[in-house]
Chain A
Amino acid sequence: AQKITQTQPGMFVQEKEAVTLDCTYDTSDQSYGLFWYKQPSSGEMIFLIYQGSYDEQNATEGRYSLNFQKARKSANLVISASQLGDSAMYFCAMRASGTSYGKLTFGQGTILTVHP
């Protein structure tokens, strides 16, 4: 069974500063994928970034980067230069390989609040 743990129910950051959202995972699979999604107050799920378990480099997408530490089973999201529009719920999720492409296991989420 797979498990995602997000230990920070809420985080606060000043505008233009960087923030790290924590995510640890547990799986016995060798091949898996890790995702971060953003859910603003409007409710939609917005894909941010993906990291494959065999990817040698940390994933980056604009202001988002994923700090992947495989041995520690962590996949923290780093948001640089925070903006007011980054205030939202953030979910870490995992997918196993093979026929599990349609299955994501989500953490409980972290609410990020960006202060001006």
Chain B
Amino acid sequence: NAGVTQTPKFQVLKTGQSMTLQCAQDMNHEYMSWYRQDPGMGLRLIHYSVGAGITDQGEVPNGYNVSRSTTEDFPLRLLSAAPSQTSVYFCASSYSGSGGHYNEQFFGPGTRLTVL
């Protein structure tokens, strides 16, 4: 299993450009999430999904769109990048079961995004 994969690892954008951060998981997890991590802060939830076709907003959704057409993929779209979106982005997935490690969120390696 590759686990949770993210592409690209690094990206530099100019203000106003758009791009899509890719996330895929091969563990058949129902739940997938996007977080951003800024210096001195913990991870903050951007969007999440409880299954294909179902998404919802997290704590900091403005400026980001998501869709989930398959169980495996959960891309994050920046429609018009702003310097405030400079951050490290993590995708995560998890089971819906209960008990022990069934609760664990598996994280991808992250994408470091800089918006100039």
Q: How far is the CB of B21 from chain A (nearest CB, A)?
A: 15
B48 and A103: CB pair below 8 A?
yes
Q: Is B115 an interface residue (CB 8 A)?
A: no
B residues contacting A by CB (< 8 A) are 30-33, 35, 40-45, 48-50, 58-59, 88, 90, 92, 94-96, 98-101, 103-107, 109-110
Q: How far is the CB of A21 from chain B (nearest CB, A)?
A: 13
From known contacts A47-B105, A103-B33, infer whether A91 and B43 are also in contact, taking CB-CB under 8 Å. yes
B104 and A44: CB pair below 8 A?
no
Q: Which residues of A contact B42 (CB under 8 A)?
A: 4, 6, 91, 93, 106-109
B41 and A104: CB pair below 8 A?
no
B90 and A45: CB pair below 8 A?
yes
For A101, the closest partner residue in chain B by CB is B31
From known contacts A45-B90, A108-B41, infer whether A102 and B109 are also in contact, taking CB-CB under 8 Å. no
Q: Which residues of A contact B33 (CB under 8 A)?
A: 102-104
Q: Which residues of A contact B98 (CB under 8 A)?
A: 52
A108 and B40: CB pair below 8 A?
yes
10 closest pairs, A vs B, by CB? Answer: A106-B42, A102-B31, A45-B107, A102-B48, A106-B43, A102-B33, A47-B104, A101-B31, A108-B42, A33-B103
Interchain Cβ contacts under 8 Å between A and B, 26 examples:
A4-B42, A33-B103, A35-B103, A35-B105, A37-B107, A43-B109, A44-B107, A44-B109, A45-B43, A45-B90, A47-B101, A47-B104, A47-B105, A50-B103, A52-B98, A95-B105, A101-B31, A101-B96, A101-B103, A102-B31, A102-B48, A102-B92, A104-B33, A104-B43, A105-B59, A106-B35
A14 to B44, CA, bound (A): 32
B50 and A44: CB pair below 8 A?
no
Q: How far is the CB of A113 from chain B (nearest CB, A)?
A: 16
Q: Which residues of B contact A4 (CB under 8 A)?
A: 42
Most buried by A among B58, B100, B103: B103
B50 and A102: CB pair below 8 A?
yes
A98 to B48, CA, bound (A): 14
A33 to B104, CA, bound (A): 10
